[in-house]
Amino acid sequence: MNLSTTYHPQTDGQTERVNQILEQYLRCTISYQQEDWVDFIAMEEFSYNNSIHGWTKVSPFFANYGFHPCFNISSPAISVNLSAEMRARTFQDVHLNLSLELRVTGEQYKDHAHRRRLVAPPFAVDDMVWLLHRHIAITRPCAKLDYKKFGPFCIIERINPVAFRLALPPTFRIHNVFHVSLLELYHPSRILEQQPSPPPPVELSTREEYEAD
């Protein structure tokens, strides 16, 4: 398992990229009311599976079956049946080439991503950190006049070098594992008169809830 944190899906970037491509396909074909997207799903799927990808240098259809689909409606006059050994050998060659291309492209993507990536702060268990307001919707009407960060909260567990679990109050009914980009180290003031009082409890914007007996 290679789990990712909320709003930081680097561990599943391939799925996120596929979703963006399918959204582009549907955006160009569906009607204004967007109620006929089901009629185009099969065509979009075929178009995506038959297009050559930059990572693998082949189409998904070729990667799964070893050949490209035929667009001709008429059937060939002479049917040619390949042996099972030839088909298995073809698949082995295709998958070997795909694994090499994916490994090279993955290293290129990793190098490109690390150029803009900063070193993670040295957070540790029992450290007090601020939780940035980003991606957290609460009941206050104006986001510009709202708190920029919540807390401070205590780190209770280190999931990996860039993900930490926080001790959130009961009013925060959200997942308590966050990426380091959403955390800031808390520095308490050394002057007693400047110790701020804790803010009131935060009410998150959630749907109507029921208590089951």
Question: For 6-41, what is each residue's pLDDT tens digit?
Answer: 666 566 677 777 888 888 888 777 777 778 788 878
**Least reliable range by pLDDT among 48-52, 137-141, 197-201:** 197-201
Structural domain includes residue 102: yes
Higher pLDDT, 128 or 146: 128
pLDDT for 186 beyond 70: yes
Does 23 share its domain with 93? yes
Q: Are 153 and 127 in contact (CB under 8 A)?
A: no
How would you list the strands of the sheet with 128-132, edge to edge? 177-179, 163-166, 149-160, 128-132, 183-185
Spatial separation of the C-alpha atoms in residues 181 and 153, rounded to whole Å: 15
Concatenating the DSSP letter of every residue in 56-113 gives TSS-HHHHHHSSPPP--SSPPSS-----HHHHHHHHHHHHHHHHHHHHHHHHHHHHHH
Does 99 share its domain with 163? no
The total domain count for the chain is 2
User: Cis omega (within 30 of 0) on the bond before 60?
Assistant: no
Q: What is the mean pLDDT of residues 116-126?
A: 83
Does 55 share its domain with 102? yes
Structural domain includes residue 211: no
Structural domain includes residue 56: yes
Structural domain includes residue 155: yes
Does 92 share its domain with 143? no
Does 91 share its domain with 141? no
Residue 108's pLDDT is 85
Does 53 share its domain with 133? no
Tell how strand 183-185 and strand 177-179 pair up: unpaired
Number of neighbouring beta carbons within 10 Å of residue 177: 16
For the ranges 26-35, 103-112, 150-159, the maximum mean pLDDT occurs at: 150-159
> What CATH code is carried by the domain that includes residue 169?
2.30.30
Spatial separation of the C-alpha atoms in residues 210 and 213, rounded to whole Å: 10
- Residue 82: pLDDT band (50, 70, 90) is low
Does 25 share its domain with 110? yes
Structural domain includes residue 3: no
Does 53 share its domain with 96? yes
Q: What is the mean pLDDT of residues 80-98?
A: 72
Residue 7's pLDDT is 65
Structural domain includes residue 185: yes
DSSP state of 5: B
Does 91 share its domain with 20? yes
Residue 48's pLDDT is 86
Q: What is the mean pLDDT of residues 66-70?
A: 78
Does 178 share its domain with 106? no
Does 45 share its domain with 97? yes
Residue 73's pLDDT is 45
Structural domain includes residue 154: yes
Tell how strand 128-132 and strand 149-160 pair up: antiparallel
Q: What's the domain range around 145? A: 128-189
pLDDT for 156 beyond 90: yes
Does 19 share its domain with 101? yes
Structural domain includes residue 1: no
